[in-house]
């Protein structure tokens, strides 16, 4: 697997690097936006949750695992001395607008779900105004000084340390990736349609709800069975907040994510997952299927 991974990196490195630099340059050169131009940028004009990323010790093994689960295509791009893989949750058309999970190497940082992304209309034009407005609102609500972006393409952390990313709508980050032949495409059992939800563990529901309302608005917020959700009808995606205590295994963070999928045979999938070394979990809702991947990351399949 490692030899094939290196071969693929060598073959695509020059081409991918040019595309990656082009994409990074277009995202990094953000215009200065005046306060007048930035009026009304909150709540965000977003279609919803676009993608997530997972951080794992062996990106090739993780990508191969997901390609055995999902009937889809695999993309890749060079990242540092390694490769970043993209499991696509739908067809990649000319607009490059598709949900996905990105797989990055942990490099000793542990295994976890790294961030989730909500794309934003006119992000390139309004990014400075959005962060300025967020800074004012966040400070006014007693959350302290908003640090702004701490990474590439608008990544920042909420009060619980959960990483959030903003990207242009449609998401252009995946334009830096090209099809990968690490493993054969369309060998999985489940056909994905897109991201369904991201489930967050938060330490203080009232404060977390207030923080997320600043970004996504009161109209998107609702409360159901002790949970707070932010719904995005344009993409039929959700952000779900659940309060947890600071105990081992349930600290604040991204608990799991859900993927919209076509109907499938649950017993056949269970057998495949067990054979691959994954763990099948009890479903918490009707028409859902939960499992832990090779690295212990929890995924929920939502049949639609």
Residues 87-101: b if buried by 16+ CB within 10 A, e if exposed: bbbbebeeeebbbbb
Which of 300, 259, 293, 303 shows the shortest CA–CA distance to 58? 293
Q: What is the CATH number of domain 2-179?
A: 3.10.180.10
The rounded mean pLDDT for the chain is 86
The continuous run of DSSP H or E covering 51 comes out as strand 48-56
pLDDT, one tens digit per residue, over 255-264 is: 999 999 999 9
User: 223 exposed, middle or buried (CB, 10 Å; 0-12, 13-18, 19+)?
Assistant: exposed
pTM over 0.75: yes
What angle separates helix 123-140 from helix 205-216, to the nearest 10 degrees?
A: 150
Mean pLDDT of 176-204: 95
153 — pLDDT class (breaks 50, 70, 90): low
pLDDT of residue 75: 94
Query: What is d(CA 113, CA 162) in angstroms, rounded to the nearest whole number?
Result: 10
pLDDT, one tens digit per residue, over 38-96 is: 459 999 999 999 999 999 999 999 999 999 999 999 999 988 788 999 999 988 777 66
Mean pLDDT of 100-119: 93
197 — pLDDT class (breaks 50, 70, 90): very high
pLDDT, one tens digit per residue, over 200-256 is: 999 999 999 999 999 999 999 999 899 999 999 999 999 999 999 877 767 899 999
What are the residue ranges spanned by the domains of the chain? 2-179, 192-303
Instruction: Considering only CA atoms, give the Rg of the chain.
Output: 19
Q: What is the CATH number of domain 192-303?
A: 3.10.180.10
């Amino acid at each position: 697997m490692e030899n094939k991974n290196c071969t693929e990196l060598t073959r695509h490195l020059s081409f991918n690097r040019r595309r990656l630099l082009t994409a990074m340059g277009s995202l990094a050169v953000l215009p200065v936006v005046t306060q007048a131009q930035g009026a009304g940028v909150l709540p965000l004009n977003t279609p919803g949750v676009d993608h997530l990323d997972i951080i794992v010790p062996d990106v090739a093994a993780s990508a191969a695992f997901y390609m055995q689960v999902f009937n889809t295509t695999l993309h890749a791009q060079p990242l540092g001395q390694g490769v970043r893989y993209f499991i696509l949750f739908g067809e990649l058309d000319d607009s490059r607008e598709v949900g996905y999970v990105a797989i990055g190497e942990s490099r000793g940082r542990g295994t976890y779900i790294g961030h989730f992304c909500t794309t934003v209309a006119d992000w390139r034009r309004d990014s400075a105004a959005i962060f300025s407005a967020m800074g004012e609102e966040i400070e006014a609500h007693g959350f302290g000084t908003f640090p702004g972006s701490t990474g590439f393409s608008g990544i920042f952390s909420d009060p619980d340390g959960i990483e959030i990313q903003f990207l242009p709508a449609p998401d252009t980050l995946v334009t830096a990736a090209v099809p990968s032949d690490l493993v054969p495409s369309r060998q999985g059992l489940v056909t994905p349609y897109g991201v369904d939800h991201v489930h967050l563990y938060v330490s203080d529901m009232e404060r977390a709800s207030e923080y997320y309302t600043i970004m996504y608005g009161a109209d998107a917020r609702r409360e159901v069975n002790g949970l707070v959700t932010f719904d995005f009808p344009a993409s039929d995606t959700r952000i779900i907040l659940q309060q947890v205590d600071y105990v081992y295994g349930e600290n604040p963070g991204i608990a799991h994510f859900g993927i919209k999928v076509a109907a499938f045979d649950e017993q056949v999938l269970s057998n495949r997952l067990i054979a691959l070394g994954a763990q099948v979990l009890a479903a918490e809702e009707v028409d859902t299927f939960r499992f832990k991947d090779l690295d212990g990351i929890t995924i929920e399949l939502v049949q639609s």
